[in-house]
């Protein structure tokens, strides 16, 4: 994984940074001077709680980010989530990682572990050991009908999030997540790490 800070609002926002983590594949048996290949990316925000009203901050980063506002109350996690034994292990949460997009190149989308591996690596690199939470949308997009009824088809739920170690956030079925206080994220990352030993065949135009 290769990380780059986007610094979109760094001049005015002190509590949030937007990042992109790229999946870089290195050539193994390629002919000639083959370059590294970018196989996909993860766009995400890292929020420090307790500094600024979260809803105001998320609005700056677009509608996908703004939808996470329902997880927060002012500058903190919403009541019922912060220090919840089942979700956060009773730990006060100071940092939240919000996954905005996790995409693979079309040529690699059939690899069902590469995308969750990338998200697991981001969570490991960006969250503190015991006081962090990762969260993501359970659905790629919600239709107006689903939003109105609060219901959606189970087969539309992103199948990769359980592989990362995440589950639906209590009382917020539109979101999945997990706190670093538990071992779920760590164990999932260990299980996915075998992908580092895999070889991916990619065609590259060098002209």
The pLDDT score that the predictor gives to residue 165 is 96
Distance CA 165, CA 75 (A): 26
143: region left, alpha or beta (phi > 0 left; psi from -120 to 50 alpha): beta
Name the stretches of the chain with pLDDT < 70. Answer: 29-32, 140-156, 204-207
How high is the pLDDT of residue 26?
80
pLDDT tens by residue, 36-74: 888 999 999 999 999 999 999 999 999 999 999 999 999
Which pLDDT score is estimated for 193?
A: 94
How confident is the model at residue 30, as a pLDDT?
Answer: 62
Give residue 84's pLDDT: 75
* Whole-Å CA distances, 80 to 71, 73, 88, 92, 170: 10, 10, 10, 12, 9
Of 5, 22, 20, nearest in space to 108 by CA = 22
Domain ranges of the chain: 2-197
- What are the start-end ranges of the H helices in the chain? 54-59, 63-66, 85-88, 114-126, 144-149, 161-164, 184-192
pLDDT on residue 204: 67
pLDDT of residue 3: 96
């Amino acid at each position: 994984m290769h990380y780059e800070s986007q610094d979109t609002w760094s001049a005015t926002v002190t509590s949030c940074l937007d990042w992109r983590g790229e999946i870089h594949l290195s050539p193994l048996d390629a002919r000639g001077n083959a370059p590294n290949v970018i196989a996909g990316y993860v766009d995400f925000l890292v929020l420090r709680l307790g500094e600024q009203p979260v809803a105001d901050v998320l609005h700056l980063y677009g509608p996908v980010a703004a939808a996470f506002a329902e997880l927060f109350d002012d500058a903190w996690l919403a009541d019922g989530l912060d220090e919840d034994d089942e979700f956060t292990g009773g730990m006060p949460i100071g940092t939240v990682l919000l996954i905005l997009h996790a995409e693979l190149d079309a040529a690699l989308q059939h690899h069902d572990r590469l995308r969750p591996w990338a998200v697991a690596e981001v969570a490991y690199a960006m969250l503190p050991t015991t006081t962090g939470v990762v969260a993501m949308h359970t659905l790629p997009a919600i239709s107006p009908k689903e939003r109105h009824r609060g219901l959606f088809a189970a087969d539309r739920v992103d199948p990769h999030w359980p592989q990362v170690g995440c589950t639906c956030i209590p009382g917020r079925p539109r979101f999945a997540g997990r706190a670093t206080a538990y071992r779920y994220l760590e164990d999932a990352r260990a299980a996915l790490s075998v992908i580092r030993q895999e070889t991916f065949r990619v065609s590259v135009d060098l002209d």
